[in-house]
Amino acid sequence: MKRLGLFGSTGSIGENVLNVVRHNPDAFEIVCLTAHHNVQKLADQALEFRPQSVCICAEEHAGYLKEKLSGTSIRITHGHTGLVDLAREESFDMMVGAIVGSAGLLPTIEAIKAGKNIALANKETLVVAGEIVNHLLEKHKVDLIPIDSEHSALFQCLVGESSDSVKRLILTASGGPFLHTPVEEFETLTVESALKHPNWNMGAKITVDSATMMNKGLEVIEAHWLFRMPSEKIDIIIHPQSIIHSMVEFVDGSIKSQMGLPDMKLPIQYALTYPGRIQNGYESVDFTKYNRLDFYQPDTKKFPCLRLAYDALKAMGTMPAVLNAANEMAVSKFLKREIGFNDIPRWIEKAMNAHSIHPDPSLDDVLEADRWAREFCSGEIKT
């Protein structure tokens, strides 16, 4: 029985993790659940899975949660401090990192320091502080298994291979909802159209990231830290069907890919059962239905976020943290209809140009860069 601490249980990944646990009640036990605002869903999940503790980050909902969970022995904590304490103190074997954004960084770091293995969906943690996280993983002898479908694919292709034999990693990208939209229309794209992803049903932030293709940019940085590959060895290819989840080309020219239907339950289950695999009743790929797989070069002029992410990775230091924080701010303003679609890369580029990079940052330096970029972007919106 693997004991799981599920951080971000009310989101799209969180709910899929709980679906995997429901399918395998003898394999997994939920030890804690956490949410930001959605207290109703958190309470329902807690009543179903009976964890030892829950954390509601928005403190104003703690009273409601107490009421809903009265008569149970579930411990209730709240706030960001409650979240970080839970990551450190609660007795789970594996943290499932399903929080969105850099808010997931500190809980993940505390869980690693406490010697807990990590199944990570929260890519922003690696974008912001990949080097620091890798150092801690080594120091505390902790495994981190990716949940992000492309990285799960790369991870699976790399099992049993040495890094010397890798020629390049090939990340596949669906291209998002605007793959075929003329760039002239980008200035007036609506929130509704950006939230219509062709293949995946995900949280709002990552869905907008897929529309700007920043998601793929963040994934290049994520792959860099997970597999310790330089950016020159990480390529992106557009593959609109999302059946090939990514590929590895080896020095002999041989290419391995991992395939499956676009369903996050598969990479989630793999991260939870690695190095083993278990059966499930999920639908498998019918190649007569998917009898055509297409591939295109990504267009970095049309999707400048891709270029910005590669630039941030080359600049290194605190630049990826600034890229990420400016993106989080811009996407949140776009979702509130306060800025347009093209303002997202504009803001990010402005923040990156204005940032004085710290070449070898500590955790505090990274947090400070994140704070600085958010403040910079708030100033931008005022002007």
Instruction: Note the residues at the interface with ligand NAD (CB under 6 A).
Output: 8-14, 35-36, 38, 57, 83, 98-101, 103, 121-124, 148, 200, 202-203, 205-206, 264
Region 168-207 residues binding Mg ion, contact defined as CB under 5 A:
none
The reply to whether 222 sits near Mg ion by the rule CB under 5 A is no
Closest by CA position to 96, among listed 273, 321, 325, 331: 273
φ, ψ at 270 (rounded to 5°): -60, -45
Closest residue to ligand NAD in the complex (CB): 11
Residue number, 148 or 370, with CB nearest to Mg ion: 148
Stretch that binds Mg ion, among 30-38, 109-117, 142-150, 167-175 (CB under 5 A): 142-150
Burial of 33: CB neighbours in 10 Å, binned 0-12, 13-18, 19+: buried
Selected from 110, 148, 209, 249, the binder of Mg ion by CB under 5 A is 148
Stretch that binds Mg ion, among 95-103, 147-155, 273-281, 349-357 (CB under 5 A): 147-155
Contacted by 99, from ligand NAD, Mg ion, none: CB < 5 to 8 Å by type = ligand NAD
Contacted by 172, from Mg ion, ligand NAD, none: CB < 5 to 8 Å by type = none
The reply to whether 110 sits near Mg ion by the rule CB under 5 A is no
What is the nearest approach in angstroms of Mg ion to the Cβ of residue 286?
23
Stretch that binds Mg ion, among 41-49, 90-98, 143-151, 255-263 (CB under 5 A): 143-151
What is the nearest approach in angstroms of ligand NAD to the Cβ of residue 376?
19
CA pair distance 25, 138, nearest whole angstrom: 31
Residue number, 31 or 145, with CB nearest to Mg ion: 145
CA pair distance 222, 326, nearest whole angstrom: 17
Site string for Mg ion, 303-322 (x = CB under 5 A): --------------------
What is the nearest approach in angstroms of ligand NAD to the Cβ of residue 42?
8
Contacted by 82, from Mg ion, ligand NAD, none: CB < 5 to 8 Å by type = none
Ramachandran category for residue 206: left, alpha or beta (phi over 0 → left; psi -120 to 50 → alpha):
alpha
Q: Is the alpha carbon torsion for 199, 202, 208, 213 positive or negative?
A: negative
Say how many CA atoms lie within 13 Å of 291 toward its Cβ: 2
CB 163 within 8 A of CB 228: yes
Tokens of 288: 């007569």
Q: Rounded to a whole number, what is the distance in angstroms from the first to the last CA of the chain?
A: 55
Residue number, 110 or 150, with CB nearest to Mg ion: 150
Residue number, 110 or 148, with CB nearest to Mg ion: 148
Closest by CA position to 374, among listed 338, 334, 332: 332
φ, ψ at 257 (rounded to 5°): -130, 160
Site string for Mg ion, 334-353 (x = CB under 5 A): --------------------
Residue number, 14 or 317, with CB nearest to ligand NAD: 14
Pairing of strands 244-250, 166-173: antiparallel
CB 342 within 8 A of CB 328: no
What is the nearest approach in angstroms of ligand NAD to the Cβ of residue 62?
14
Tokens of 191: 């929130």
User: Cβ–Cβ contacts within 10 Å for residue 2, how many?
Assistant: 16
**Cα of 300 vs its chain's centroid, Å:** 22
Residues that bind Mg ion (CB under 5 A): 148-150
